[in-house]
Structure 1
Amino acid sequence: MNKLLRRLGRLALWTGPTLVLLLAVIAGFVYWVVASQPGTRWALETGVRLAGGSALSVQGTIIDGVQVGALKVSTPAVNIDLADLDIQIDWPALRDKRVHARNISAGRLSLDVLETEPAAADDTTFEWPVLPVTFSLDRVALGELNVSLNHQPLLVKVNHLDASLALTQKDAQLVFRRVAVGQHDIEADVAGEFRLMALADPWPFSLVIETKAKSQTPDSVLCARHFLPDLPAAAQAAGTVKSVEGMSTRQREP
């Protein structure tokens, strides 16, 4: 028994410093990845490359915030092309079981959705999983969104998205401070709030939307003449205004 203890002591004497050195190397490598710009650039470029994409012009660090000039990822279902990506995470919030992002923004996002074989029908009722943490995104911003289906661009334009998102174990809230939507000759600024009051069937929700739409085309579907056909034409209305102004001027002459 004493011989066994002596052998274990000698083994610990030799392997102990080696294990400590190995742990120190691992800790130093992790710190280099998350807290230094070269480490963050290496980790992001390598990870995206393994996923079949590319990341260019990586700046910043994972701890303080990272910026990516261009990010492309191709999958069998969708091709993703991001420009001017900026991510800032509040890492200390993880201690309170919160995933808190101060900012997730991009100057441009292009999605090319590819047709795939439809999945087999599943008759089971969807149940929202129990979340171990809560999610809070203070700012989700997007300058331009381009969506294509099998390389064919859709006609809807989405710009200037500014929103926030909150998700807990009980409910979810999405607030649109602004999003500009355009199709053909119509442009609309949309603001609103979508809230899921329970994350379970029957999925009760509330929705509030405020829209300001405009069009420069005379025969647009937004034109009031489609709903009030008796309105005078623009030229006639302008002539009537001029006539009224002339009558008022003559009445003021002594």
Structure 2
Amino acid sequence: MQERLAEVAAGVAAHLDHVLAPFGTGELAQAMRYATEGGKRLRAYLVIEGARLHGVPAEQAIWPATAIEALHAYSLVHDDMPCMDDDDLRRGRPTVHRKWDEATAVLVGDALQSLAFECVADPRAGSGEVRAELCLGLARAAGGQGMVLGQALDIAAETAGTPLSLDEITTLQAGKTGALIIWSGIAGAVMAGADPAPLTRYAQAVGLAFQIADDILDVEGCAEETGKAVGKDAAAGKATFVSHLGLAGAKSRASALIDEAIAALDIYGEDGDDLRALARFVIARSS
């Protein structure tokens, strides 16, 4: 699984270089490339594997796979800024606003977001109908009904009089993290005109397990491995899956979700093995 993940990551990195080439070598372009470097490329992997399951050519799937990585990078750049989470490290390196400045970070995020839609809208991503459906789905997943809403709820929780309940945290993370993971999970089915329901169930479970695993890493992880600060949630008195369920309870819940995700792939038989392996990796990772 690690070998396949690395293979997909390398392909996406090369395609990001390709789509970023027209931006030139100025400061904005340099910062955009910096922001997109590294990471596990889990979302791109979901796109590529979902496409493979449905017989979609790799040269078509690489466009939405690159799009989701550009959009994810934008979200991290903005999320790290002082007005949001105020983080100094991302993937073991200074965040964009620390390496450059806040204005550059805003512009980098804006440019990467528009690049994501440029990639999804590219004619090589599929028919006009397919591209329209991918664009609509990505807009909803990324915006005020999805990731941005989740981030807004997260910011509001920091000054709320009482910590969020478990249900409220689940709703928050369904937007902040889960929406883009679901889009990634079903993109292959959309490209093929197939029923997205099995991959929707898979991606919903994987997305929630991913966030629970992040909460666990904030307790058990170390900055050297995670590439970012740890222990911030507890220090801020922030409600998390771990604070509600306890460490053992959070691990049990994450494991149960992975079982749900794997069961959703039964329809694909052995062809779903790579996605099954990814689901297991989500809660076994150290970063």
TM-score tier after normalising by the smaller chain length: under 0.3
Structure number with greater Rg is 1
> Quick check: which one's helix share is greater?
2
Normalising by structure 2, what TM-score? 0.24
Normalising by structure 1, what TM-score? 0.26
**Whose RCO is larger (CA < 8 A, sep 6+)?**
2
> Quick check: which one's strand share is greater?
1
